[in-house]
Amino acid sequence: MAANRPIKFRILELCHNSEGRWNYEIVQQIQKEYNMKGDFSRDSINFDIIELASGGMLKDIESKVDEDGIYKKGFLLHKYTITEFGIIRAKDACLMYV
Amino acid sequence: MDLKLLKAQEYKRRVKYGYMWAMFCAVLWGLWYIPGTVIWDLNPFDAMYGEIAATSGDGMALVIVAVLITAFNAATVVLALMVWNGVLGKFGEMKRTVKEFNPCSKWFFLAAFFGGPMAILGSFIAMGFVGGAFAAVAALMYPVIGSIVASKWYGEKISKRAFLGIAFIIIGGFTVFGGGMLVELRSGNVAWIGYLGGLMAAFGWGIEGAIAGKGLDIAEPDVGLTLRFIGENIIWWVIALPLLAIAGFPMYKYALLVFEPMTMLVLVFAGITFGYCYVTWYKSFPLIGVGRGQGIGNLYGFFAVIFIFLFFGDVPGWTILLGGALCLIGSTIMFSEDTGEMESLRGD
């Protein structure tokens, strides 16, 4: 999908699958799709994910410690999936074809 | 390291950031009362008030001048926000968001209506007709409106503890400004349109917060906020000012006289404090929820008193000190909430 919709719409879309997505996967994919380089963009996309999660639209289904430094060494990695509420909120925004 | 421990730490950090943003909001909002008060004594607004008062009366003059001041306030706020978005590199996201009218921008423009012509103008009217004290007391009620609307409309969870904290802050706010209000009431001149302005402020800001939350669910706060203020600018500069000019008020004559160094400086100060107070306000909502964000933001009443004392030398009375203490107790109750239980702020 082309990068022409707000980033949070795309994040919800990416998390709309049964097995969920790791936050570093989402961040990397968004950075690639929206051509956003650098650590600042990375953190800002991750903050978008956090906001969606604390808004109750994404839920954290699995976490592991980032031992190898895939994202940030020593910090937590989270796997997210969309919630019922997230699907309802996303329906009129970005999951119209679902 | 222990996974559970790391998780708890991370969650604590997140909520801490939410409260930190809300606290910045309170400080900046409190600061805003300094340019907001000073601007009334500066030209062209002072001269404009005189001219309109001579023909249409004091009451009308106050409302019309308040409109022009609010319009300039909105303009400098957008200027400050454009700088903010430019630094963060968010213009691309802004373009993408504004195109999503139905799910996103619709809510920000609606929030602009409740925040601008209702809340900010209402505050100015209340300040003008009744006095700053009353305007602030009335506006302190807005978290109650915001919490009720947010919980009824989209089921935002508010814990008992958060309720208790909000209650303390509101009682504190009433005490801070209540002393001054009693004196105004005793003097016998009850200006009812000012009280209407106070209600407009409370309802406007409360509803704005809840509506904004709806659009913020799926947008970037920095971007959403800028769109909300662009919306307010459209309301003032494209709709309200031309209509008032057609009605015969000298809107453009005085709007063009605004380019005096001192006036510009004060307006820019107002834009920066108010703009960034909104940035931090909106940033706190997704992290700690509308009710808590507004509750902590409400400490502005306390900060406003301190800043007014520092800049204008108005010595605070005992009611102000007592109320300030109550506000601090309330925010401490909210700060110390066991955050482990509020992993998600919404119902399922």
Single-letter amino acid code for the residue at B120:
I
Q: Which two tokens stand for residue B244?
A: 């008032």
- A6 with B346: Cβ contact below 8 A: no
Looking at residue B137, its pLDDT comes to: 61
User: Do residue A6 and residue B104 have CB atoms under 8 angstroms apart?
Assistant: yes
By the 8 A CB rule, do B83 and B205 touch? no
3-state DSSP of chain B: CCHHHHHHHHHHHHHHHHHHHHHHHHHHHHHHHHHHHHHHHCCCHHHHHHHHHHHHCHHHHHHHHHHHHHHHHHHHHHHHHHHHHHHHCCHHHHHHHHCCHHHHHHHHHHHHHHHHHHHHHHHHHHHHHCCHHHHHHHHCCHHHHHHHHHHHHHCECCCHHHHHHHHHHHHHHHHHHHHHHHHHHHCCCCCHHHHHHHHHHHHHHHHHHHHHHHHHCCCCHHHHHHHHHHHHHHHHHHHHHHHHHHCCCCHHHHHHHHCCHHHHHHHHHHHHHHHHHHHHHHHHHHHHCHHHHHHHHCCHHHHHHHHHHHHHCCCCCHHHHHHHHHHHHHHHHHHCCCHHHCCCCECC
Q: What is the largest CA-CA distance in chain A?
A: 39
Q: Which residues, in sequence order, are CB contacts of B322 under 8 Å at separation 6+? A: B172, B175
Q: Which of residues 6-35 of A touch B (CB under 8 A)?
A: 6-9, 12, 34
Q: Does residue A97 register a pLDDT over 50?
A: no
Structure confidence at residue B342 (pLDDT): 47
Q: How far apart are CA A9 and CA A72, in angstroms?
A: 25
**Domain range annotation of chain B:** 17-337
Q: pLDDT tens digits for chain B (348 residues)? A: 577 787 787 778 878 888 899 899 999 988 887 888 788 888 888 899 989 888 888 878 888 888 999 999 999 999 999 999 999 888 888 888 888 777 677 888 888 899 888 888 888 777 666 665 566 666 777 776 777 777 777 666 667 777 787 788 778 777 766 666 666 666 666 566 777 787 888 889 888 877 877 777 788 888 888 988 999 999 999 999 999 999 888 888 898 988 889 999 999 999 999 999 888 887 887 778 766 777 778 788 778 878 877 887 766 667 767 777 787 787 777 666 554 444 444 443
A8 contacts in chain B (CB < 8 Å) = 218-220
B100 vs A6, A40, A48: nearest CB: A6
**Amino acid (1-letter code) at residue B316:** P
The half-sphere exposure of B178 on its side-chain side, counting CA atoms within 13 A, is 14
Length of chain B in residues, anyone?
348
Query: At A50, phi and psi to the nearest 5?
Result: -60, -45
Confidence at residue B132, expressed as pLDDT on a 0 to 100 scale: 59
Exposed e or buried b per residue across A10-33, where buried means at least 16 C-beta atoms within 10 angstroms of its C-beta: bbbbbbbeeebbbbbbbbeebeee
Confidence band for A95, pLDDT divided at 50, 70 and 90: low
Which residues of chain A lie closer than 8 angstroms to B10, CB-CB? Answer: 75-76
Which residue is closest to B95 within chain A, CA to CA?
A6
Q: How far apart are CA B202 and CA B180, in angstroms?
A: 19
Question: What per-residue confidence (pLDDT) applies to B272?
Answer: 93
Task: Give the model confidence (pLDDT) of A33-86 as tens digits.
Answer: 888 888 888 888 988 888 888 778 888 888 888 777 777 777 788 899 988 888
Structure-token pair, residue B101: 């009218």
Pairwise CA distance, residues B176 & B202, whole Å: 17
Which residues of chain B are within 8 Å of residue A64 when distances are taken between CB atoms?
3
Tokens of B346: 């919404």
Q: What is the pLDDT of residues A9-47, one digit of tens each?
A: 888 888 887 788 888 889 988 888 888 888 888 888 988
What is the pLDDT at residue B71? 92
Tell me the C-alpha distance between B200 and B119, whole Å.
5
Chain A residue numbers with beta carbons less than 8 Å from the beta carbon of B340 are none
B interface with A, Cβ–Cβ below 8 Å: 1, 3, 6-7, 10, 14, 88-89, 92-93, 96-97, 100, 102-104, 216-221, 223, 286-287, 344-348
Q: Is A73 in a helix, a strand, or coil?
A: coil
Cβ separation A54–B287 shorter than 8 A: yes
Distance from CA of A55 to the nearest CA of B (A): 6
Facing residue for A51 by CB, picked from B89, B104, B286? B286
Q: What is the pTM of this model?
A: 0.82
Instruction: Name the fold adopted by A8-91.
Output: Arc Repressor Mutant, subunit A (1.10.10)
CB atoms within 10 A of CB B53: 16
Asked whether the beta carbons of residue A55 and residue B221 sit closer than 8 angstroms, the reply is: no
Interface test with B, best of A7, A16, A23, A30 (most B CBs within 10 A): A7
From the list A55, A64, A76, the residue facing B286 with the nearest CB is A55
- Provide the number of CB pairs (under 8 Å) joining chain A to chain B: 84
| CA distances (Å), origin B143, targets A69, B74, B83, B140, B236 | 42, 22, 29, 7, 26
B204: CB partners within 8 A, 6+ apart = B114, B115, B118, B119, B120, B122, B142
Could you tell me the two tokens for A97?
Answer: 């074809």
Task: Using CA coordinates, name the residue in chain B closest to A9.
Answer: B218
Spell out the domain ranges in chain A. Answer: 8-91
Residue A15 exposure: Cα atoms within 13 Å on the Cβ side: 30
Q: Do the Cβ atoms of A55 and B6 come within 8 Å?
A: no
Say yes or no: ipTM exceeds 0.90: no
Q: Closest CB to B14: pick one of A50, A63, A84.
A: A50
Rounded-to-integer distance, Cα B226 and Cα A46, Å: 21
Nearest-CA distance B216 → chain A (Å) = 9
The identity of residue B76, as a single letter, is T
C-alpha distances (whole Å) from A76 to each of A63, B19, B94, B98 are 7, 22, 30, 34
